[in-house]
């Protein structure tokens, strides 16, 4: 019995002391989570509302280009906004509401419709974004950090950085006086007046400067730089940009060509536009008499594909060219030619310059393009010094279900000598495919 009592005593002693070893809750911070979150919300709220001259914002989108904004926030949760999406949005202020709430950090939500919502809108009719996804751009942004006069947020879903910089009184006045659209038009006019814009790189070679001022998801609001290397090959870089009232800000940090990080295009004086590098070096933009780089030199570098969207005949396409493309589109539902009917299709010419191949992809879908099948025909090619291409079938149509309606375009590629050139329609640059043997047949595509 004594032994049992001893064991019991030891067990109880162990339990008592072990119990005492339990750690009490010790806060890792000197404030509670809600205190810290409240503090951060207040920090963001105060920052946004106390900037007396408002904020200049730039935002890259997930699958589209970049966009610029000017915003002022008040304490009644209203935000006044200008944006570079349209001339009207750069001219007319739009008031909407916002709030800052706790989420994965302090969350800035543009919670009623405004210009920034257009990039988020999944209805194509709103601003041309993709159905369901829009431009893959957010309307709620998680606070990231403040640095100097800047406050940075990250899009909650699409993770794009939304950078706001405090405006000066002079900038505020210009935004509110309608000068934003004037500034945007000046940039556009410069490139219209200088269609073969280029800069001279540090190595003395010329680099073409090609902005796309359109708003298409695929190619709009981007700028590209491209140059020919000493070995005759081409290197190119492109990135998204947004207009501010002072410059074209290149997003995602920079557009980097041959090691130089270009961060913006801005006016050197009233008539001279220049690119500026991250080190502050200036590169004046001049105009070449002819395009600095022929389009065919840019395959595989600046551009990797020519794309024709569902039932879209782009400007510059001749009647004969449209017939060739429409043979594919108009027969997607032709059950005599195909084993199934499709409600969406597209065509794409993919360049493989290493192996000197061109692959024609015919995409077909029964759910509006969300998913589908690809039929591919691969050609090998030769190109002469004048940029005339001759294609030979490397592998015939394989995969998918639409070989029978790709025949017209396939026949065109196989039986014609072909050149490629630019086609510019207002603000949009397309790639044009022309038959040397039958010059009346021309087709334009989106350059990708």
Applying CB under 8 A, the residues found at the interface with another protein are 5, 8-9, 12-13, 15-16, 19-20, 22, 24-25, 32-34, 37-38, 41, 76-78, 96-99, 101-103, 109-113, 117, 120-123, 125-126, 131-134, 136, 139-140, 156-157, 367-370
Shortest Cβ distance from residue 125 to another protein (Å)? 8
Torsions phi, psi for 298 (to 5 deg): -100, 0
CA angle 79, 84, 86 (to 5 degrees): 105
Long-range contacts of 98-101 (CB under 8 A, 24+ apart): 98/73, 100/41, 100/44, 100/45, 100/48, 101/41
d(CA 209, CA 57): 24
Closest separation in Å from C-beta 305 to another protein: 23
Quick one: 94 exposed, middle or buried, by C-beta within 10 A (0-12, 13-18, 19+)?
middle
Instruction: Tell me whether residue 368 or residue 439 sits nearer to another protein (CB atom).
Output: 368
Supply the minimum distance, in Å, between the C-beta of residue 245 and another protein. Answer: 26
State the minimum distance, in angstroms, from the CB of residue 49 to another protein.
13
Q: Shortest Cβ distance from residue 320 to another protein (Å)? A: 33
Q: Toward another protein, which CB reaches closer, 133 or 149?
A: 133
Nearer to another protein, 157 or 281 (CB): 157
Query: What is the nearest approach in angstroms of another protein to the Cβ of residue 74?
Result: 11
Name which of 62 and 195 has its Cβ closer to another protein.
Answer: 62
Least Cβ distance, residue 73 to another protein (angstroms): 13
Which CB, 25 or 148, lies closer to another protein? 25
Q: Where are the beta strands (DSSP E) in 244-343?
A: 247-250, 255-257, 260-267, 273-277, 282-284, 286-287, 305-308
- Reference 160, options 83, 253, 285; nearest CA is 253
Nearer to another protein, 59 or 209 (CB): 59
Give the C-alpha separation, 143 to 98, whole Å.
14
CA distance readout (Å), 19 to 11, 368, 441: 12, 65, 88
206, 193 contact by CB (below 8 A) = no
Percent helix, strand, coil in the chain, to 5, is 25, 40, 35
Q: What is the closest distance, in whole angstroms, from the C-beta atom of residue 101 to another protein in the complex?
A: 5
Q: Decide whether 68 or 155 has the Cβ nearer to another protein.
A: 155
Crossing angle of helices 319-330/407-415, nearest 10°? 140
Query: Looking at beta carbons only, is 5 or 177 nearer to another protein?
Result: 5
């Amino acid at each position: 019995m004594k032994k049992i009592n001893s064991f019991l005593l030891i067990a109880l002693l162990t339990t008592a002391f072990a119990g005492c070893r339990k750690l009490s809750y010790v806060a890792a911070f000197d404030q509670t989570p809600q205190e810290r979150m409240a503090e951060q919300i207040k920090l963001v709220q105060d920052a946004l509302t106390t900037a007396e001259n408002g904020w200049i914002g730039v935002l890259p989108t997930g699958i589209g280009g970049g966009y610029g904004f000017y915003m002022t926030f008040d304490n009644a949760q209203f935000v006044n906004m200008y944006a570079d999406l349209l001339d009207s949005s750069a001219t007319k202020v739009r008031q909407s509401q916002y709030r800052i709430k706790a989420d994965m950090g302090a969350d800035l939500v543009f919670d009623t419709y405004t210009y920034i919502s257009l990039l988020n809108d999944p209805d194509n009719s709103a601003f041309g974004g993709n159905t369901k996804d829009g431009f893959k751009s957010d309307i709620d942004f998680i606070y990231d950090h403040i640095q100097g006069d800047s406050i940075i947020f990250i899009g909650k879903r699409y993770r794009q950085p939304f950078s706001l910089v405090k405006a000066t009184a002079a900038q505020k006045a210009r935004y509110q006086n309608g000068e934003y659209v004037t500034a945007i038009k000046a940039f556009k006019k410069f490139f219209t007046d200088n269609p073969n814009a280029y800069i001279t790189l540090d190595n003395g070679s010329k680099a073409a400067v090609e902005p796309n001022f359109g708003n298409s998801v695929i190619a709009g609001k981007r700028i590209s730089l491209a140059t020919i290397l000493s070995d005759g090959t081409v290197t190119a870089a492109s990135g998204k940009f947004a207009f501010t009232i002072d410059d074209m800000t290149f997003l995602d940090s920079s557009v980097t060509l041959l090691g130089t990080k270009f961060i913006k295009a801005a006016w050197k004086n009233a008539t001279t536009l220049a690119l500026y590098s991250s080190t502050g070096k200036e590169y004046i933009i001049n105009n070449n008499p002819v395009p600095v780089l022929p389009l065919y030199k840019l395959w595989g570098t600046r551009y990797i594909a020519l794309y024709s969207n569902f039932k879209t005949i782009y400007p510059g396409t001749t009647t004969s060219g449209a017939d060739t493309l429409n043979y594919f589109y108009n027969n997607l539902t032709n059950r005599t030619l195909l084993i199934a009917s499709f409600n969406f299709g597209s065509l794409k010419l993919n360049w493989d310059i290493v192996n000197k191949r061109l692959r024609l992809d015919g995409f077909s879908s029964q759910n509006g393009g969300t998913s589908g099948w690809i039929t591919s025909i691969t050609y090998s090619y030769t190109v002469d010094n004048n940029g005339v291409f001759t294609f030979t079938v490397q592998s015939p149509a394989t995969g998918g279900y639409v070989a029978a309606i790709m025949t017209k375009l396939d026949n065109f590629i196989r039986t014609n000598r072909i050149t490629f050139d630019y086609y510019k329609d207002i603000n949009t640059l397309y790639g044009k495919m022309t038959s040397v043997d039958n010059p009346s047949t021309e087709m334009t595509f989106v350059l990708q």
